[in-house]
Structure 1
Amino acid sequence: MKQALTTGNFFDHLPDASKREVFEVIAGAPGLKIERITTLGQCTPVGEWYDQPEREWVMLMQGAAQLEFEDGRVLSLTPGDHVDIPAHCKHRVSWTDPAQTCLWLAVYYGAAGVGAAGED
Structure 2
Amino acid sequence: MPCQNLFFPLPPAGTEEHFEPLLCRPGLRIERIVSHYHASPADFWFDQTEDEWVMLARGSAELEFDDGELLALSPGDWLLIPAGRRHRVAATGPDTVWLAIHLTP
Same fold? TM cut 0.5:
yes
1:56, 1:31 → 2: CA distance?
Answer: 12
Equivalent of residue 101 in structure 2, options 84, 99, 107: 107
Aligned equivalent of 2:65: 69
State which structure, 1 or 2, has the greater radius of gyration over its C-alpha atoms: 1
Equivalences for 1:25-104 in 2 at 5 Å? 25-97=21-93, 100-104=94-98
1:6, 1:54 → 2: CA distance?
Answer: 29
Q: Secondary structure at the match of 1:18?
A: coil
Identity of aligned residues (%): 45
Matched, 1:13 2:13: no
Q: Secondary structure at the match of 2:16?
A: coil
1:19, 1:44 → 2: CA distance?
Answer: 11
Identify the structure with bigger relative contact order (alpha carbons < 8 Å, sequence gap 6+): 2
TM-score, normalization by structure 2: 0.95
Q: Which amino acid aligns with 1:103?
A: V
- Unaligned runs of at least 5 residues, structure 1: 115-120
Write the deviation string for residues 15-64 of structure 1: whole angstroms up to 9, x where unpaired. 01233210000111001000000000111000210000000000000100
Write the deviation string for residues 56-84 of structure 1: whole angstroms up to 9, x where unpaired. 00000010010000001111001000110
2:2, 2:21 → 1: CA distance?
Answer: 13
1:15, 1:76 → 2: CA distance?
Answer: 24
More strand by share: 2
Aligned residue-pair number: 105
RMSD: 1.0
- Unaligned runs of at least 5 residues, structure 2: none
Equivalent of residue 18 in structure 2, options 12, 22, 27: 22
